[in-house]
C-alpha cells in the first residue's frame, strides 16, 4: 500500500427509489453495517475502497492500524 492516508468507512444498507445497497453476511443475514478501508484517489479526490467487509470497527482497526 502506498503512503496515502487511509480511512475506515462505515457502510450501512440503503434503499432509494432507483438504487439500493444491501449489507449482509455470507449467508445473506442482514448486518447493521460493514467497515471498509478507503484511500483518496489523488487525481479525483474521491475515496475508493482498498479493503472490504469487516464486520466490526475493531476488526478493521486491527487489520489497518494506521487508518483513521
In which domain, by residue range, is 34 found?
6-63
Does 68 fall in a domain?
no
Total domains present in the chain: 1
| pTM of the entire predicted model | 0.84
Q: In this model, does residue 55 exceed pLDDT 80?
A: yes
Structure confidence at residue 46 (pLDDT): 95
Average pLDDT of span 25-52:
95
Residue 56 lies in a domain: yes
Q: How many whole angstroms separate alpha carbon 11 and alpha carbon 9?
A: 6
Whole-number Å distance between alpha carbons of 4 and 31:
29
Residues 8-25 have pLDDT tens digits of 999 999 999 999 999 999
3-state class percentages of the chain: helix first, strand second, coil last, to nearest 5: 10, 40, 50
**Within a domain: residue 47?**
yes
Amino acid at each position: 500500500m502506498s503512503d496515502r492516508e487511509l480511512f475506515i468507512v462505515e457502510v450501512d444498507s440503503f434503499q432509494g427509489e432507483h438504487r439500493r445497497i444491501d449489507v449482509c453476511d455470507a449467508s445473506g443475514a442482514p448486518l447493521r453495517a460493514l467497515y471498509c478501508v478507503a484511500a483518496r484517489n489523488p487525481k479525483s479526490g474521491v475515496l475508493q475502497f482498498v479493503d472490504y467487509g469487516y464486520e466490526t470497527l475493531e476488526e478493521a482497526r486491527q487489520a489497518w492500524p494506521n487508518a483513521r
